[in-house]
Amino acid sequence: MLGAMKKEKDSKVARDKVMGFLNEFELADKYNLYPAQLSGGQRQRCAIIQQILCSEHFLLMDEPFSGLDLLMLERTCDLIAKVSDMDDLNTIIVVTHDVTAACSVADHLWLMGRGSDAKGNLVPGSSIVKQYDLIERDLCWQPGIITTARFTDFVREVKNEFRRL
């Protein structure tokens, strides 16, 4: 409710928005629980809802896949795709070490790493060392794409590039 009340002055409108998201994200039955009473995946979904309510079209996620089991990882990827599809203006930036999950929710991927100077010495800090356009490669926005051989080959390509850093 706090997130919704930042944008909506009418508490009924704010509550309706919150309940709509809780229903959409299968959390309506958890409405009156404290965060400590929720599972990690449920807390993650609540955090996503809160950010959507606060910023509306922009979502920055730092390691949203950490600590999730395989089932919850898949559901979180589905949730991110759902949020992305809610509005054409939605922009989601995901920072993660999970290459496969990142590839499954992205339309553009930027591989970060430390670059080197002309002498081959590592430069402090990180920068973009490789960019991938998954739209151009026809690897995004398709149901079941992650089960295809070309998607698996792409993930392997990204992981190999990451290992070279």
Length of the chain: 165
Name, in order, each residue with C-beta under 8 angstroms of 76's C-beta and a sequence gap of 6 or more: 41, 44, 45, 64, 65, 68, 101
What's phi and psi for 119, nearest 5 deg? -90, 0
Dig out the tokens for 122 from the structure. Answer: 């590592």
- Mean pLDDT, 10 residues at a time, the chain of 165 residues: 84 92 90 91 84 82 83 82 85 91 91 75 78 93 87 93 79
Rounded-to-integer distance, Cα 109 and Cα 94, Å: 10
Position 83 scores a pLDDT of 83
- 117 in Cβ contact with 124 (< 8 Å): no
* 156 three-class SS: helix
Position 65 scores a pLDDT of 85
Half-sphere exposure of 25 (CA within 13 A, CB side): 29
Position 158 scores a pLDDT of 92
